[in-house]
Structure formats: C-alpha cells, structure tokens
Copies of this chain bind each other. A is one copy, B any other.
C-alpha cells in the first residue's frame, strides 16, 4: 500500500493526526532498560504497544540511533520491523533529513526503503529536484521535504526574499508544482511558526499533507497550528510529538504515561478539527 493511502487509513481508523517521534536517548531511559541488550528497542516496543491505536504514524529520527553507532542502527531496524509486523497499518516515517547527489541518494534510499522498510522519509531541499529524483521516483513512498523548520533561527535562509516572496514559499511552490509529479511529496513546517504554516497551506492547496514537528517540548501552539494548517476536511496534517510523549514519565511506568499523554494530545488536536 502506498504511503498516502496508508497514512489516510491510519488517520481514519484511529481518528488521529498524531505522529509519535521515537527518539530514545540513553540518558533519559528508565534505569532498568539501560541494562538490557536492546534498550532502545525495549523502550520503543512498549511505547508502540501503548499507543498504536492512537497514532497515524511513527517517526524515528536516525540521529538518536546513529549516536550509538552500529548497535543503534540494529535497534532502529528492530523497531521498524516490529511496527511492520505487528501494526502493518501504521506507516513509519524515517526522519533522516538526507540530501546528496543522485548517486549517493540511491544509497540512502536503500537504507530507508530496502533495509528499514520505511514508508516515508524526510529530505533536504537545498540540492534541488534533479538530485532528489532517487527519492522522488519511489512513487509509493512519502517524500517529505524540509520547508520551514521548527528551530530558532530557521529564518536565516528560509525567510530571505526571492522574487518578492520568502525562500520557504518558493520551496513550497517548487515541491508542489515540480517535484510532486507522482503525488508523493509532503512538506515539513514547524508548529512554532503558525503564520508560515498558513502561508504554505495556501500555496500547496488541500491535497498535500504537511508534517508538523514542534508541539510539546518545542512549545508550538496547537490551536494556532491547526487553524493555520488543516485542510478543508480537517486533515492534511501529521502532528508530531516526541519527547512530551515518550518521556511523559521518566520512570518504569513510561508506557502508561505515554499512552495517557497521547490520548490527551489526540483529544486536544481533535477539539480543533
């Protein structure tokens, strides 16, 4: 099943736009987990089992796994495999923000799609469409391009004026009108920038989904985000929360707390849909 269909089915089945970011860090895991052979996988597995009926996607960020080298990548694979085997209706977004020349991007697609079996990836726009064809040609996968990022200072280049409009708007236009030949493109716009999210929604229309990080630990305003970004049918957004959910409790009851926080977040989102 292609990413777009799978995502919409999960959003409908679970009545949820929530994506949970699976970003484990050793110094934040409950102590007993640190002594297991696969601390990240054990942690993720409990979070997944506790939230799989509440989410529309999971989003592991490779940075957290790579920090531990090869063993971290093993645990990332265990995590992706576990979701595919046990919750095949929930898509996996590999948040790896890669971008290189085509020859190298071919290899990154092998990592994301062949090795990990991810349904979608995040990528960088800077090298342009021609370089990113390796990704875009995977018609059944979601290719989620950074547009307006959630971090402080993201305007340094993204807000520069280009032909009377900001660069991130030009990025949104090019993705929507040129890169999206196969209808498999999405954008990333941070919840910390609701006005920008609204401007991007206007540019891309109602059909394109937007991945929105930055609620929760990063402080984005949920109401403003939803008002700015929802399409006409109250969808079109993937609202990501990582730390606020997976570390809702820092103790061994973390999965229960993650579930409670996920329910609270889904309810808060649905109140504004």
Contact = CB atoms under 8 A, between A and B. Distances in A.
Interface of A: 23, 25, 61, 63-64, 66-71, 73-74, 77, 97-102, 104-105, 107-108, 110-111, 114-116, 124-131, 146, 149-158, 160-163, 167, 170-171, 174, 213, 218
Copies of this chain, count: 2
A158 B70 contact: no
B156 A129 contact: yes
Nearest to A97: B100
A70 B77 contact: yes
A130 B150 contact: no
Given A100-B97, A146-B127, A67 B156 contact: no
B160 A126 contact: no
Contacts of A161: 162-163
A162 B218 CA distance: 30
A130 B156 contact: yes
Nearest to A155: B128
B153 A129 contact: yes
